[in-house]
Amino acid sequence: MGILSLTLLATLINPSGIYGAVYPLTIWSNYGIDIVENHSIPYLESHGFKGEYPLIKLTIIVLCLSFLAVYRRAARFPTALFILALLLGGMGWFAIRNQTLMAMFSLAAIGINAGLSGAGELWSRWRTKVAIALAVMILAGAYSSGRKLLQRKHTIGLGLYPDTSAAADFLRASNLRGPLLNNFNIGGYLTHYLYPQYRIYVDSRPEAFPASFLYDKYQEPLNDETQWANLLAEYQFNILFFSQSSTWENQFCTRRALDPNWAAVFRQDPIIIMVRRIPANQSIIQQHEIPREQLFVTK
């Protein structure tokens, strides 16, 4: 109880006091855009998203079985550990962003429960069989991890991919004037490379923007051409800086690429830059415009 009291007291040591302490519990009241990592495993599976879902399910099952073994064999049930398991297991099941936290906890909890449930006795009785079973599991895990690493070997190393800053360098050198409309996932990139020369429209922190803004001034205009015309009239965007992302954001880019009022001047997957076809942009358009037939060539 003393440790719990000190922990609760420590959460109040922040600039916002009690409001800062309870902020994680209220963040969802101002979350105006759908994020993949906030969805549950059943939702992601049913909508075709790829992930380590069988492994997550297996981890939860083994975690539950470890507590069942403790309940049946141990003298004292670890209630505090069980409450944590319910909390973190539920977090991992209902929001995929919590899978790493759940996995780290499960590894320790399963080990603790194995000790409480008499795994030492099992080891002494069937030492060879247990050793073989553990060796097989370790080798299977090493094989699976090694196979995945080989598939992603091009991502292993230090530093950034070559030409990572190419899109930002192009825009900086172009001396194009804003305002700039960017999409959700590319905001951090623009802030890193181009602030304060260019001010972003949105970034991937939905909790930092009013939900009404993300819906009325971002999602709806990108999905509805009438609302897009209203947004354009309000902000007078001169540059579109988008990366491939959701289906509806990609469809918006396709419509703008086919719009005679816009010209694509830079493309490097997954980024495309378009500018308004106005006299002030004519020079950059003449030098760098990408014909529409090239934009829609699939490699």
Q: Mean pLDDT throughout 194-218?
A: 92
Task: Tell the residue number behind the tokens 């094989």, with chain if given.
Answer: 143
Q: Mean pLDDT throughout 279-299?
A: 84
Model confidence at 98, in pLDDT bands (50, 70, 90)?
Answer: very high
Model confidence at 299, in pLDDT bands (50, 70, 90)?
Answer: very low
Q: Mean pLDDT throughout 225-235?
A: 96
Look at 151-160, 207-216, 217-226, 286-295 and tell me which has the smallest mean pLDDT: 151-160
pLDDT tens string 241-265: 999 888 899 999 999 999 999 999 9
CA distance 129 to 121: 13
Distance of CA 23 to the CA centre of its chain: 20
CA distance 122 to 6: 39
Is pLDDT at 296 greater than 80 in this prediction?
no
pLDDT tens string 186-199: 999 999 999 999 99
Model confidence at 74, in pLDDT bands (50, 70, 90)?
Answer: low
CA distance 217 to 209: 11
Query: By C-alpha distance, which of 170, 163, 186 is closest to 249?
Result: 186
Q: Mean pLDDT throughout 40-52?
A: 88
| Mean pLDDT across the chain | 88
Model confidence at 123, in pLDDT bands (50, 70, 90)?
Answer: low
Provide the pLDDT for residue 272: 95
Task: Tell the residue number behind the tokens 């000790």, with chain if given.
Answer: 115
Question: Higher model confidence: residue 269 or residue 182?
Answer: 182
Per domain, the residue ranges of the chain are 1-30, 39-154, 166-295
Is pLDDT at 73 greater than 80 in this prediction?
no
Q: What is the dihedral of CA 203, 232, 266, 244, to 10 degrees?
A: 50
Provide the pLDDT for residue 151: 87
pLDDT tens string 130-176: 778 878 988 988 888 888 888 888 888 888 888 899 999 999 999 89
Question: Higher model confidence: residue 97 or residue 28?
Answer: 97
Please state, as a whole number, how many other Cβ atoms lie within 10 Å of the Cβ of residue 182: 25
Provide the pLDDT for residue 119: 63
Output the CA–CA distances (angstroms, integers) from residue 235 to 35, 180, 221, 230, in the order listed: 26, 9, 12, 9
Task: Tell the residue number behind the tokens 């963040």, with chain if given.
Answer: 27
Q: What is the value of pTM for the model shown?
A: 0.76
Which residues, listed in sequence order, are joined to residue 267 by a DSSP beta bridge? Answer: 272
Model confidence at 122, in pLDDT bands (50, 70, 90)?
Answer: low
Q: State the alpha helices, DSSP H only, in the chain.
A: 2-10, 18-26, 41-46, 53-73, 79-94, 99-116, 119-125, 127-151, 166-174, 187-194, 211-214, 220-223, 225-235, 247-257, 282-288, 292-295
Q: Which residues of 79-108 are buried (b: 16+ CB within 10 A; e: fewer)?
A: eebbeebeebbebbbebbebbeebbebbee
What's the CATH number for 166-295?
3.40.190
